[in-house]
Amino acid sequence: MATVLFFHAHPDDEAIATGGTMAGLSEAGHRVVLVTATRGELGEIPDDLVDKGESLADRRKAELTEACRILGVGRQVYLDYLDSGMAGEASNDRPGAFAAASVEEAAPALAEVLVEEDADVLVIYDEHGGYGHPDHIQVHRVGIRAAELAATPVVYMATMNRDFVQEVFAEAAASDQELPEPAVEGADTMGEPERRLTTEVDVHRWLEQKRRAMRAHASQISETSFFLSMPDDMFAKVWGREWYIRIRPPWTLPAGSPRESALLLDAEVGVRTR
């Protein structure tokens, strides 16, 4: 069995981007570890959601604990950085913000967990964090350096299939499905082109776990949100696959070859024999 460490920026990112893969790996007997860079305290606060005396960071911490239970995460760790907020906001540069941290300062903290867990695989984000969020971009930078420091043998980047995203948005628009404006505006740069993807994971088997994990993050993902309000068939189409790019060891996909379709990492766990 392998130990797979997922590195995410905020609570809820793990459920949205890699929840199905995490649930599948856990069910298969692999050890799933989650490192979260921040507590997401700059997220939106719905009216009357947070109890008196409770901070959004407190609520999101509780939500992540439940999501981890649902997805079968064996251990969850925070790096204790502050949420940087959206790109261009003054909070990007505040002391303690993850986006403002030195990579050489942050990477050893992640590398320490990789070494403690004797991790076979690290999962981070693509170079622009999927959609340009400064904390997501920093996850990529810090993750790359941490893998070097810990000599982690396999590294994948979680991303989105840009071609598929554009197809889904066009279909939704044609059916009058309401789409979040920022997502529509960023569709042309969201994720990576299909030709660059190395790994496509069919997570339909764990789709209900993924949906329950998303629901656990109620402070950020409401029942009326784009994420959860779509009909079941559309939900399955949008969230039933998760995409990755393997960058360590490098993998050049031969022209015309199908992408890897087995559960992420099943073909890679032999890299290090336990």
User: Residue 115: helix, strand or coil by DSSP?
Assistant: helix
273 pLDDT tier (thresholds 50, 70, 90): very low
Residues belonging to the chain = 274
Residue type, 10: H
Distances (CA, A) of 236 to 204, 233, 273: 7, 5, 36
Q: Please name the residue that has the structure tokens 């890699």.
A: 18
Tokens standing for 107?
A: 């990477």
* Cβ atoms of residues 238 and 218 within 8 Å: no
Domain ranges of the chain: 3-265
> 31 in helix, strand or coil?
strand
Kindly state the average pLDDT of the residues 186-211. Answer: 90
- pLDDT score at 30: 93
| Cα gap 153→4, rounded to integer Å | 11
Range with lowest mean pLDDT among 44-53, 109-118, 191-200: 44-53
CA distance 78 to 66: 15
**What is the residue-averaged pLDDT of the chain?**
88
Residues in contact with 31: Cβ distance below 8 Å, sequence separation at least 6, in sequence order: 1, 2, 3, 4, 74, 75, 117
CATH code 3.30.2290.10 for 3-265: no
Q: Which two tokens stand for residue 239?
A: 């969230």
Q: Which of 53-57, 148-152, 197-201 has the highest mean pLDDT?
A: 148-152
Mean pLDDT across the stretch 83-103?
A: 95
- pLDDT of 215 higher than 70: yes
Instruction: Work out the average pLDDT over 82-104.
Output: 95
The tens digit of pLDDT for each residue in 152-190 reads 999 999 999 999 888 877 776 666 666 555 555 556 788
Task: Please name which of 111, 141, 89 lies closest in space to residue 5, comparing C-alpha atoms.
Answer: 111
| Main-chain phi, psi angles of 90, to 5 degrees | -60, -25
β-pair partners for 260: 199
Contact (Cβ atoms closer than 8 angstroms) between residue 155 and residue 113: no
Q: Which residues contact 1 (CB under 8 A, 6 or more apart)?
A: 29, 30, 31, 269, 274
Per-residue pLDDT band for 69 (boundaries 50, 70, 90) equals very high
Alpha-carbon gap, residue 131 to 92, rounded angstroms: 16
